[in-house]
Amino acid sequence: MLVTTDGENIVASPYAKAAKDAGVKIITWTLERSGPLTTGGGWYFQSVKDVINSDADYFSMLHALHTEAEVVGVFSDWPATVTYYANCMGIE
């Protein structure tokens, strides 16, 4: 619901843009609830499955959620992935 594709890029969905325009602060749920990204990532990645092809794409998704959908937080079943991304990007 929060992201879609534009060619090979992961971008904010119309839903995320409308929420942002309405002043809604988005906190999203974990990335690592679906299947392996090498097989498209399952249900949670259905809107971007055409550009997902490796587990490294968790970081591509996080980057798009942060920069495109402008989420303010991510709940995570496996916080190491989100923490690593936040530390590398200097996000507090």
Q: What is the structure's pLDDT at 89?
A: 95
Using pLDDT thresholds of 50, 70 and 90, give the confidence band for residue 31.
Answer: confident
Q: For the chain, what is the mean pLDDT? A: 91
In whole angstroms, what is the distance from residue 20 CA to residue 18 CA?
5
pLDDT tens profile 46-75: 899 899 889 899 999 999 999 999 999 998
Three-state secondary structure call for residue 64: helix
Q: Which residue has the tokens 């949670």?
A: 44
DSSP string across 3-39 = EEEETTEEEE-HHHHHHHHTTPPPEEPPSTTSS-GGG
Query: 74-92 pLDDT, tens per residue?
Result: 988 888 989 999 999 999 8
Q: E-strand spans in the chain?
A: 3-6, 9-12, 27-28, 73-74
